[in-house]
Structure 1
């Protein structure tokens, strides 16, 4: 059997992923997290190329909606798909099929639902790598990043997708607005490894060190 992928937004990123994830390759006891899995293309690549040790696993969060013909007619070209479109595109069926083909399905923990709910129930400081590629609305992207940050180990790597995507008319609703907001607020707690279509960063601290202003709470420099 062959993989069943309808789109390919991932392959162009493989060289960067190989470069910045190479230290994880073949290591045991790794715990990866993916927010937004679609048909599992990036999941399968990680299983086949990085999470190759039998004791390394990945958690995948997605709503896995069924996409119907009317939606495909409207958004198919934007997603990089070509007609004729199916009547129904079952993302969950495709994800399951593709993951099974890797031979590593037992290493995948699939959590179906809204990321903002599921992420709140995951264990802090338990992931070595987090990939954020869920909703592309800035408010959702920012929520995902903020909720994921405490889950990432110090020294872990986070990748935020779609930094240059202009999906909405108002720029503040695009992913870049959310990613920049996080980078500004948490400056000093990460190291930027790469920034173009994706932002790749290494976590260096839980939160930035901040010095109170002299006037804060009625204090003065002499206090």
Structure 2
């Protein structure tokens, strides 16, 4: 799905900026570097706490090794932080806009995922692509602990600004600007 969805980025030699939230061992990161980074000025900003409740090893070391082996590690900025803090800092301290954002959820609690998505959305260029991972992930019994609730909320609340490209285990959207009607109801008044 990524090949087709990101074909415009893949098939050009322009400088692009990519943001990845949640990197784990860096497999998706290496794919981004190998497939999308044709221009040496392209930049990838990654954010991860490198703390995981599901694995019992230092995946940060594996991530850094994989990035180095890609030969494009000089194009990667690694931010070791809580995503909300890092995203807020990016939003207010940098004037960067991203062509592609991949949210692979450092946080799995729905309200944290929603916050990460909304702040990231503000960093996405018009026409940019955002891919949200783990949509169908249901590891926890409590709905609010799984990402689906956050992703559905985002899709509903931002529907006037998105074009859904696909919706499966991952959800891909394109940021678009649409004229949004605001039609008052006949039976309502502001009085």
Q: TM-score, normalised by structure 1?
A: 0.77
- Contact 1:128/1:152 (CA < 8 Å) preserved in 2? yes
Q: Are residues 1:211 and 2:182 paired?
A: yes
Which secondary structure state, in structure 2, belongs to the residue aligned with residue 183 of structure 1?
helix
Aligned pairs for 1:149-188 within 5 A: 149-188=121-160
Aligned counterpart, 1:92? 60
Aligned pairs for 1:26-105 within 5 A: 26-65=12-51, 75=54, 89-105=57-73
Which secondary structure state, in structure 2, belongs to the residue aligned with residue 54 of structure 1?
coil
Q: Are residues 1:132 and 2:100 paired?
A: no
Gaps of 5+ in 2: none
Q: CA deviation digits over 1:127-156, x for unaligned, max 9?
A: 000000121211111011111111000000
Which secondary structure state, in structure 2, belongs to the residue aligned with residue 162 of structure 1?
coil
Aligned residues: 184
- Contact 1:187/1:208 (CA < 8 Å) preserved in 2? no
Which secondary structure state, in structure 1, belongs to the residue aligned with residue 166 of structure 2?
strand
Alpha-carbon distance, 1:99 to partner:
0.2
Give the direction of change, closer, same or farther, for the CA distance of 1:216–1:180 in structure 2 (3 Å limit). Answer: farther
Alpha-carbon distance, 1:167 to partner:
1.6
- Which portions of structure 1, spanning 4 or more consecutive aligned residues, are displaced by more than 4 angstroms? none
Q: TM-score, normalised by structure 2?
A: 0.89
Gaps of 5+ in 1: 1-15, 77-87, 219-223
Query: 2:118 & 2:139 partners in 1: Cα distance?
Result: 21
Give the counterpart of 1:106 among 68, 74, 84: 74
Give the direction of change, closer, same or farther, for the CA distance of 1:216–1:153 in structure 2 (3 Å limit). Answer: farther
Query: 1:130 & 1:60 partners in 2: Cα distance?
Result: 10
Query: 1:216 & 1:119 partners in 2: Cα distance?
Result: 39
Root-mean-square deviation over aligned CA pairs? 1.9
Give the direction of change, closer, same or farther, for the CA distance of 1:42–1:17 in structure 2 (3 Å limit). Answer: same
Aligned counterpart, 2:7? 22
- Contact 1:33/1:131 (CA < 8 Å) preserved in 2? yes
Alpha-carbon distance, 1:124 to partner:
5.8
- Contact 2:45/2:79 (CA < 8 Å) preserved in 1? yes
